[in-house]
Structure 1
Amino acid sequence: MHTDTPSLMPRRWTAAATLVALLLGGCASTYRVDSQVESFARWTDTGSASGTAATAPAALPQAPQTYRFERLPSQREGDGAAAARQSTLESLARDALAPLGWTAVDGNAPSPWTVQVSASGQRQVRSPWDDPWPQFWPMFGFGLGGQGTRVGGQLVWGPMFPYHEPPYYERKVSLVVRETGSGRVVYETRAAHDSRWNDSPALWRAMISAALRDFPLPPAGVREVIVDLPR
């Protein structure tokens, strides 16, 4: 009795569909921004390090609150590009503080608090974990003799060209909250993140959001805060 051989086409199409689904799933995945965050709260003069019992809960400012941004001379009197970057940074901080019940006022309008936000970034040639030496790959060379055709060759090791290390970025962001009347610092927080990802407002937004995690009474010590961003 003759039996037809089952076709492989359905299996091939199934494998292809699975591959496409995986690729699409990867495109729809998220980018994890892991920041090292350290915060300090001192809402009262008698309070000590952040998150300790010495800071009385009754002294914490209850939402809603208003504040105005405060700039350093370099942030206020720098070139146009620096001022534009600072405005963008403050806009991201404003968006992060709004859900916490803190609203920014315009100009010199009276407010009980001031907020100063700053950020810095440095581009490194390679990450601290990269091999500082270029990778070497086998190469084969040959030549033709002068009298008749002679083919000879040898296997050698040489660097892979072009050789480019992907850059690595180190970024930091900080926010300082002061009491307007006395100028006393009542809250300080900073976040640090390093990765191969290029600069983007979404990345800075994630870092600011991480820095404000657990505001206004954060735990003591350095902690890792993760914010997921769509790719």
Structure 2
Amino acid sequence: MQRALSILITAAALTACSGLRDLSSDVSTFSQWPADRKPSTYTFERLPSQEQNPQQMQLLEDAAHRAMESAGFQLATDPKTADVSVNLGARVSPNEPSPFDNPFWWHGGLYTHRFYGRPGFYRPGFYSGFGYEPASYEREVAMLIRDRKSGQALYEVRVTNDGYSSSINSLLGAMFQAGLKDFPAGGPNPRRVVTQIGAS
């Protein structure tokens, strides 16, 4: 009976975690956070250009909110009374393949310089002569925490990872969690941090 109960508990745990996947990201943090300052209240601050896409910004803010709470912050009920302000950003960039990414061209071949990121060479996939290479993408989020009254930058976060999908929306929460995992410490930069996609 006890063994059967143990199996049921294990099965339930596996079912609960079945929706979670690990996400490995490179994290860089730069901290000027005072040692005696405790996390308090915050408000999000949008740049004028970001106001052109309020739905996307709301998605970013919702994803970052959980990470801010995990770091000890609380969203201010009145933005004017917030202790810090938070700026967010996200982007996806293609890792563009080059026709010179082929051993034939290396080490003093026809071309001794390797080219990267030339727009004319980008394709959904690239045939290198040794096989088809699918397109990959670099996904990045950034966060800047400032003292709201003085405007002083206190904590800067950059999180990147690569993948074969340009979709980033489902990864935002895990990426912001990775960026604030060591708050308020900075460096070493970059460092590999693993978080879970789909974790609440």
**Which TM class, normalised by the smaller chain length?**
0.5 to 0.7
Say whether 1:83 aligns with 2:54.
yes
Aligned residue-pair number: 158
Which residue number corresponds to residue 155 of structure 2? 187
Q: Deviations over 1:60-110 (max 9, x none)?
A: x224x101111111112x1xxx22111100110011111222112256331
Alignment of 1:146-225 (within 5 A): 166-225=134-193
Alignment of 1:89-168 (within 5 A): 89-106=60-77, 108-124=79-95, 132-133=127-128, 166-168=134-136
TM-score, with length taken from structure 1: 0.59
Alignment of 1:21-32 (within 5 A): 28=18, 31-32=21-22
- Alpha-carbon separation, structure 1, partners of 2:137 and 2:32: 32
Moved over 4 A (4+): 124-131
| Cα distance, 1:124 vs structure 2 | 4.5
Contact 1:36 1:191 in 2 (8 A): yes
Which residue number corresponds to residue 106 of structure 2? none
Which residue number corresponds to residue 112 of structure 2? none
Contact 1:40 1:220 in 2 (8 A): no
Which residue number corresponds to residue 67 of structure 1? 42
Which residue number corresponds to residue 49 of structure 1? none
- Alpha-carbon separation, structure 2, partners of 1:95 and 1:30: 16
What percent of counterpart residues are identical? 28
| Structure with max Cα Rg | 1
- Alpha-carbon separation, structure 1, partners of 2:21 and 2:128: 29
TM-score, with length taken from structure 2: 0.67
